[in-house]
């Protein structure tokens, strides 16, 4: 019951929809620096963990300790959002589902799609359940990443794993005619899902840029927690 309550309350379920999180090849969470891309990606991952699925989180920015801290904070924020929960039940559930998360830290020099393929192959070789999603946080879309995306598309086909990216845009850049930041516009045909986090006053507006027919829908989030703002 706690798992179900947490999934229903998740900002991911309320915006993207839990059934859409891994429907396609690529997804992106876009924003300027410091708005909440990583925090929202963590909430995407937590919905999968709560659904008893595996997650591979790759960061080019954070060390493993920081990645784990982000997950602990994200889970705590989600638990707190549903009201009182028996603390022991919450801890036991997290200890259980957290086993299905694997974090890997790279930097721009050490990041290599071949290493990701080898890691995914190790799941297959050991006859283990594959991750349902891979998160890649920190890839620099201001550079030419076409070759990297080609290789990651191959991983999607080979392992049927949906890949979510953080994608940083910049305050001084104007949006393209269709409302996309230039970083997404350049690769828009590759992406099935995209959500844009935009600071508005003291909240964050989460705008669906790509998700089939569900475009231009907007939701308000609390910046500190990434939780949906209920009717004000």
**Overall residue count recorded for the chain in this entry:** 232
CA dist 220 and 224 (Å) reads: 12
pLDDT of res. 232: 55
Q: Which two tokens stand for residue 183?
A: 């970083």
User: In Å, how far are 199, 208, 220, 222, 225 from 202, measured between CA atoms?
Assistant: 7, 20, 10, 8, 13
Is residue 59 exposed (0-12), middle (13-18) or buried (19+ Cβ within 10 Å)?
A: buried
pTM: 0.95
CB hemisphere CA count around 229 (13 angstroms): 15
pLDDT of res. 231: 67
Please say whether the beta carbons of 164 and 132 come within 8 A: no
CA dist 121 and 118 (Å) reads: 5
CA dist 28 and 183 (Å) reads: 10
| Local mean pLDDT, 10-residue blocks, the chain (232 residues) | 93 89 94 95 97 96 94 96 92 96 91 93 88 96 96 95 96 86 94 94 93 79 94 61
Helix (H) or strand (E) holding 207: strand 203-211
DSSP reduced 3-state for 209: strand
pLDDT of res. 125: 86
Residue ranges and CATH numbers for the domains of the chain are 2-221 (3.40.50.300)
């Amino acid at each position: 019951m706690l798992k179900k309550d947490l999934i229903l309350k998740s900002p991911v379920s309320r915006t993207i929809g839990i059934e859409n999180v891994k429907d396609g090849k690529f997804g992106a969470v876009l924003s300027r620096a410091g708005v909440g891309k990583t925090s929202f990606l963590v909430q995407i991952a937590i919905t999968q963990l709560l659904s008893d699925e595996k997650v591979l989180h790759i960061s080019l920015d954070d060390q493993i300790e920081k990645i784990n801290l982000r997950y602990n904070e994200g889970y705590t924020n989600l638990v707190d959002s549903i009201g009182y929960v028996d603390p022991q039940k919450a801890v036991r559930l997290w200890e259980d589902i957290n086993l299905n998360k694997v974090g890997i830290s790279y930097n721009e020099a050490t990041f290599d799609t071949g290493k990701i393929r080898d890691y995914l192959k190790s799941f297959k070789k050991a006859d283990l359940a594959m991750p349902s999603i891979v998160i890649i946080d920190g890839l620099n879309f201001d550079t030419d990443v076409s070759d990297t995306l080609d290789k990651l598309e191959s991983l999607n086909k080979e392992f049927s794993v949906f890949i979510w990216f953080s994608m940083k845009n910049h305050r001084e850049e104007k949006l393209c005619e269709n409302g996309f930041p230039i970083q997404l516009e350049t690769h828009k045909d590759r992406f099935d899902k995209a959500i844009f986090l935009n600071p508005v006053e003291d909240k964050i507006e989460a705008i669906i840029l790509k998700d089939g027919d569900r475009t231009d829908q907007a939701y308000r989030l609390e910046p500190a927690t990434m939780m949906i703002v209920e009717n004000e």
